[in-house]
Amino acid sequence: MSLRYAIPLALFAALAIGLFAGLWLKPSELPSVLIDKPAPPFDLPPIAGLDVPGVSSQELQGQVTILNVFASWCIPCRAEHGELTKLMRDSDIKGRVHLFGVNYKDKPEDARAYLAELGNPYERIGADPGRLFINLGAYGVPETYLIDAHGRIRFRLPAPITPQDVDTTIKPVLRKLLAEAKS
């Protein structure tokens, strides 16, 4: 085969491989600019009428934290709720990692009904009218942030947690953060 045919064929093959690889990219999941930076300071009140304390950024110090942004009106949050609950019962995680909720733009009665129906895996929940959401660089619900013992954001998942996410990213990152906190 002469070079005359080889060049277009090679170009086409490169294009095809590039486009094929692109099928696995997730352009809707944006990278966070806050990775390795301290979480923004905040002090959120509890959900009115709920016996779960509110949350402030001070409580992120000295412990490994999962900060999960959720809302009762968010359907994917329902889907990930089971994953979060299961994760918090995991023998590696239970008692070592703290799960804090950020209840985004919710009515207190709706949030209370949501937690009564699905159960409450959160240790603390802050009600956020939207400012912490922007300070986190969040752009959708649910979003999950993994925060190290120095209060720095180390990982962000801007999508509902799936069982694959738990195994491939969330658990390995949490284990790393726990190991760092120990040393």
Partner 1 sequence: MRRLALLAALLVSLAALISPVALAIGPDEMLADPALEARARTIGQSLRCLVCQNQSIDDSEAGLARDLRILVRERLQAGDSNQQVVDYIVARYGDFVLLRPPVTRATYLLWFGPALLLLVAATAIVARARRKRATIDAPLSADEESELKRLMEPR
In the region spanning residues 16 to 75, those forming contacts with partner 1, defined by CB under 8 A, are 28, 30-34
Half-sphere exposure (Cβ direction) of 180: Cα atoms closer than 13 Å: 17
Q: Considering the complex, what minimum distance in angstroms separates the CB of residue 121 from partner 1?
A: 26
Cα–Cα distances in angstroms (integers) from residue 96 to residues 33, 150, 152, in the given order: 27, 15, 17
Cβ proximity to partner 1, 2 vs 28, nearer residue = 28
Q: What is the DSSP letter of 165?
A: H
CA 111/CA 51 separation, integer angstroms:
12
CB 49 within 8 A of CB 127: no
- Hey, what are 150's tokens? 């120095």
12 sits near partner 1 (criterion: CB under 8 A): no
Q: What is the nearest approach in angstroms of partner 1 to the Cβ of residue 30?
A: 6
Contact mark string toward partner 1, 97..126, x via CB under 8 A: --------x---------------------
Binding residues for partner 1, per CB under 8 A? Answer: 28, 30-34, 105, 130-131, 133-137, 139-140
